Structure 1
Amino acid sequence: MAATIITTEDLIEFKKELLEEIKKIFESQTTTQNKKWLKSAEVRELLNISPGTLQNLRINGTLSYTKIGGTMYYDHTDIEKLLNGNKVNALPVLFK
């Protein structure tokens, strides 16, 4: 089995690459969170729901939306309110 020698320069290069990858991950997450208006596909991905479930949320008035042309937009704050309004508090488990 051959030994591989790792130099200080190798470690510095690895650190730079690792930091760049971490930056990319954070940037992709913050752009979705900072957007005021989300399209249907983004909302479905965010909530992990099907197109039919999103349609039901629109129809029964649970989630408001704005329609421009054929595209529906959802306010990010409305989605947060929906999630916070349906929060379920977990009851503590009592042991006997």
Structure 2
Amino acid sequence: MTPDDIVTKKDLDQLKQELFDFLRPIVDAQGLQQQKWLRSKDVRKLLNISAGTLQNLRVNGMLGYRKAGSIFFYKAEDIDKMLADPEKKSPKRKL
């Protein structure tokens, strides 16, 4: 093994930066930007609602979610859509 064969941390950092610089325009051009996911506590704080109200939104199908283990995740765009649609803001109650 020669000294030229040794890869240093600095070499790896430089390679990582070069890969990011190369891939970023490709990803941005294809619209594959990372989606923003929010946890339950962030959604409750954002909407100023209780945990029970958030659960009702999930159960009634008014807000989509994904579950990983015991943690619920919500797409930021789904929250925006829910708020923009007045029909889905509150569940209709039976009289």
**TM superposition score normalised by structure 2:** 0.54
Structure-2 residue corresponding to 1:56: 56
- Aligned partners of 1:53, 1:66: CA distance in 2, in Å? 17
- Aligned partners of 1:70, 1:50: CA distance in 2, in Å? 18
- Aligned partners of 2:69, 2:83: CA distance in 1, in Å? 27
Work out whether 1:45 is the aligned partner of 2:45. yes
Structure-2 residue corresponding to 1:79: 79
Unaligned runs of 5+ in 2: 1-34, 88-95
Q: Which amino acid aligns with 2:83?
A: L
- Moved runs in structure 1, 4+ residues, more than 6 A? none
- Aligned partners of 1:71, 1:57: CA distance in 2, in Å? 16
Secondary structure at 1:72 match in 2: strand
Q: Which amino acid aligns with 1:60?
A: N
Name the Cα RMSD after superposition. Answer: 1.4
- Aligned partners of 2:86, 2:75: CA distance in 1, in Å? 17
- Aligned partners of 2:57, 2:67: CA distance in 1, in Å? 15
In the alignment of these two chains, the number of paired residues is: 53
CA offsets 1:40-93 (integer angstroms, 9 cap, x no match): 000000000000000000000000000001100000000000000028xxxxxx
Secondary structure at 1:74 match in 2: strand
Q: Which amino acid aligns with 1:63?
A: L
**TM superposition score normalised by structure 1:** 0.53
Unaligned runs of 5+ in 1: 1-34, 88-96
